[in-house]
Amino acid sequence: MFYLIGLGLCDEKDITVRGLEAVKSCTRIYLEAYTSILMIQKEKLEAFYGKELILADRDMVETESDEILRDADKENVALLVVGDPFGATTHTDIVLRARSLKIPTRVIHNASIMNAIGACGLQLYNFGQTVSLVFFTDTWKPDSFYDRIKENADLGMHTLVLLDIKVKEQSEENLARGRKIYEPPRYMSIPQAVSQLSEIEELRNGGILTPAKTLAIAVSRVGGGEGQERIVSGTLEELGSQDPSVFGEPLHSLVIVGKRIHHLEIEYAESFSVDRETWRNVARDVYGCSLE
């Protein structure tokens, strides 16, 4: 059996009972380590599971899947994924490869940012398409995410923006020269995300991301519990002007608030606001949602 197992959001104890039973039955266990990260080291997972884990970077998952699937028709093999297994298209691809090889597969689900984002107070059925925001470079500033945000905004829906992480990435020079030298890990901060969003709004001029009038909610380490999870709400302008330390440790995500919003959503998120008066005023004057 080939198992694709979700680990949840935080630490070694977030795995489900079913997932843990599957892990203990496996002879080889890979830990996918590039689409997201857990908040603990691999060794802590190994101690809890009682099993050795093999780190699977992007090269292995995307180009060496045959090695991961080797003998999975004769023994149990698992790929562990932070969050839920189908949070990234890469994982769909490896299941399809397993099926094409006639290997039995089983997916064990878990919590992910896609449903845990409800912790910020916004109702999940009011979310539209989720988008990813990548690090811009001097020569590469992809802006297709803007069209998805606009489509959501036109329907009044919230947009979950997943912020980029760079783990085991090569510089353009090292990549071109074929040198296996990797850059230090980088995690996009909320102020950087706001800056990039504002840059594309100015370029596209669609009128959907007005820094002083667009409400947003920043989250980090959702599911991490007291002392780790951080939620901050405000206008894009307010969030962009905060010191990055205000938002806690990575990983970070950002929600662009849509105008089809219920007053209970505004009231709940108000408790996390940079400035309650500004939050209420913008909610009333721009979003037509009063708490009075």
Q: Could you report the per-residue pLDDT of 176-193, keeping only the tens digit for each?
A: 666 666 667 789 999 999
- Confirm or deny that 69 is annotated as ligand binding: no
User: Coil, strand, or helix at residue 169?
Assistant: coil
- Confirm or deny that 222 is annotated as ligand binding: yes
* Residue 89: per-residue pLDDT: 73
- Confirm or deny that 209 is annotated as ligand binding: no
How many angstroms separate the CA atoms of 273 and 233, rounded?
Answer: 4
Element (H, E) at 157: none
* Residue 145: per-residue pLDDT: 96
> What is the residue-averaged pLDDT of the chain?
91
* Residue 183: per-residue pLDDT: 66
- The confidence band for 175, taking pLDDT boundaries of 50, 70 and 90, is low
- Confirm or deny that 223 is annotated as ligand binding: no
- Confirm or deny that 113 is annotated as ligand binding: yes
User: Per-residue pLDDT for 95 more than 70?
Assistant: yes
Residues 215, 287 contacting (CB under 8 angstroms)? yes
- Confirm or deny that 5 is annotated as ligand binding: no
Q: Which residues contact 130 (CB under 8 A, 6 or more apart)?
A: 114, 159, 160, 161, 162
Q: Classify burial at 38, counting beta carbons within 10 Å of its beta carbon; exposed 0-12, middle 13-18, buried 19 or more.
A: buried
* Residue 59: per-residue pLDDT: 75
| Sheet (strand 77-81) strand order | 54-56, 28-32, 77-81, 2-6, 105-108
The structure's pTM equals 0.91
Distance of CA 278 to the CA centre of its chain: 28
- Confirm or deny that 87 is annotated as ligand binding: yes
Query: Among 106-110, 121-125, 135-139, 145-149, where is mean pLDDT lowest?
Result: 135-139
- The confidence band for 171, taking pLDDT boundaries of 50, 70 and 90, is low
Site of tokens 């440790």: 249
Burial 129-155, CB ≥16 within 10 A → b, else e: ebbebbbbeeeeeeeebbebbbebbee
- Confirm or deny that 37 is annotated as ligand binding: no
* Residue 177: per-residue pLDDT: 66
